Structure 1
Amino acid sequence: MIACNSTKTKEEKEAISKKIMRSSVVHNFQGLPKSMTAIEKAIKLDPKNADAWRELSVPYLKRGMPTQWKPLFDKAVALNPKEWQGWRGYLYLYFYRNYKNAIIDFDATDALTPNFDDHPQGQSVNYMRGVAYLGLKDYTKSKMYFDTYIRDQTKTYGEDYADVTAFLYRGIIAYTKQDITTAKQDFFKVLKYSANHYADAHYYLAKCFLEEGNKDKSNFHIQEAVKDFNAGYFHTRDYIEVLHQIYIQDLNEVINQLENS
């Protein structure tokens, strides 16, 4: 047990606090009492340890307890906004679908690191702003940010490095606006960069071809969508439902439309 000895210097307490946060107790037993107790000790030793405040909040997030999660994570953001503000935006976006607050955090993160595309939780802020504006049905801004994200990835690494869901969402925007030709281009890019196995892209291509009256191509893509869906090749995330997530009922609806048209 690590005691919070008052005779230790501020620097010593900070060092011990960091050591606790690097320990296996914290990282291998997330959410269990001994892990939470260790993190609380780290905070008591160094109340400005932003990583500890953030880690203490995570079990509440995953258990769906926002009133316990938010004050703890807000503390982490206040102590180290450059590190944690973008992450809070990520959590607002995916866990709570609070698109407006997510955008506020993403914009603030951008302001903290100008001329740099931040990647909280390993994903581009521009990509996530695209998702947030899509959630708000602001298709113009959503497309703008997906365009920016895809352009930056293409310039730096190559188009195949971009997350295929950026093409998927941009295609959904075009489909929503009845720009079927542009929508198909993006859905085919999803297939190009996913070895031709992505249920969402096949599903939307089936809908596009059905709109155009091409039942044969529509039927081909919906059958491929069903195969890929059953094999687990569809857009999903741990813990949460993604925006515009598809289900087998959606695929069956297209099949029924084909059978009855």
Structure 2
Amino acid sequence: MNEEEKKAESKKIMNGAAHLNQGSPDTMMVIEKAIELNPENAEAWRELSVAYLKRGMPLDWKPLFDKAVMLDPKEWQGHRGYLYLYFYRNYKKAIKDFDATDILTPNFDDAPQGQSVNYMRGIAYLGLKEYTKSKNYFNTYIDNQIKTSGEDYADITAFLYRGIIAYLQKDYKSAKKDFQKVLKYSENHYSDAHYYLSKCYYEEKEIPKALEHIKSAIEDFNSGYYHTRNYVEVLYQVYIQDLEEQKNLVENHSFY
């Protein structure tokens, strides 16, 4: 085959591998053949890296994914930022990739892995405890959603995280407003929102409301209505122990 035929065959192989289990040995063998035919197939380098990522082998994952970014930065740099953010919690490297993606595609809200880079920068800065920058990016993301599709199209965890920022800054009024939005768009079933509402009301010494929300938080958690992701722990992950501790605190308050 000539070079053009090799590239076409490499692309055909990758399209045919879509039905195989991502990261499996069989898939890796197929992808390696695609790379052999066309070493500039960025998608193949990226897909090959997934096997090592899912096995928790960053030393093998990173050079493969870096190769994909080098070959096609516009397509894969934001995706690498996504992986830095969620799988490795390397917030500074994630932000660097998101910023670079913005430079490559100015005046466009990129969405690697289907999520806005503004939203993900909000999480990254929250992880760094840079609350003002985090809030600004969540605001940008939410405002863009309102402008293009409507508030109800925004990821409800953007309101959750913005509320957490307000709670950490002791702005309980703003925090409660965002947690109520989470409940509004989740049909009133979201453990994390009830949990933080309980914490807000507890700080304001409104014990009956604090107790009401922590009971709802526990009920929703046991029913599976809480913030979680496959493979990784989310930032500010809530566990049943947190809920039980808050319930005990509320029930045994000593304000009066």
| Counterpart pick for 2:132 among 113, 126, 140 | 140
CA drift at 1:124: 0.2
Q: Which amino acid is 1:119 matched to? A: A
- Provide the residue aligned with 2:229 in structure 1: 237
CA drift at 1:214: 0.7
Q: Runs of 4+ in structure 1 displaced over 6 angstroms?
A: none
CA drift at 1:260: 1.5
- CA deviation map 1:145-194 (0-9, x unaligned): 00000000001100011000000000000000000000000000000011
CA drift at 1:31: 2.5
Secondary structure of the equivalent of 1:174? helix
CA drift at 1:34: 2.1
CA drift at 1:32: 2.5
- Provide the residue aligned with 1:5 in structure 2: none
Aligned 8 A contact 2:23 2:54 in 1 = no
Q: Does 1:253 align with 2:245?
A: yes
Q: Which amino acid is 2:90 matched to? A: N
Aligned residue runs from structure 1 range 176-187, under 5 A: 176-187=168-179
Aligned residue runs from structure 1 range 74-85, under 5 A: 74-85=66-77
Distance in structure 1 (CA, Å) of the matches to 2:231 and 2:203: 34
Distance in structure 1 (CA, Å) of the matches to 2:250 and 2:42: 55
Aligned residue runs from structure 1 range 87-106, under 5 A: 87-106=79-98
Aligned 8 A contact 2:214 2:243 in 1 = yes
Root-mean-square deviation (CA), in Å? Answer: 0.7
Aligned 8 A contact 2:11 2:34 in 1 = yes
- CA deviation map 1:23-80 (0-9, x unaligned): 14x5423223221111111001000000000000001101100000000000000000
- Provide the residue aligned with 2:184 in structure 1: 192
- Provide the residue aligned with 1:30 in structure 2: 22
- Provide the residue aligned with 2:123 in structure 1: 131
Aligned 8 A contact 2:191 2:226 in 1 = yes
- Provide the residue aligned with 1:152 in structure 2: 144
Give the unaligned 5+ runs of structure 2: none
Aligned 8 A contact 2:211 2:251 in 1 = no
Q: Which amino acid is 2:246 matched to? A: V
Q: Which amino acid is 1:149 matched to? A: Y
Distance in structure 1 (CA, Å) of the matches to 2:237 and 2:95: 21
- Provide the residue aligned with 1:122 in structure 2: 114
| Counterpart pick for 2:11 among 18, 31, 36 | 18
TM-score calculated relative to the size of structure 1: 0.96
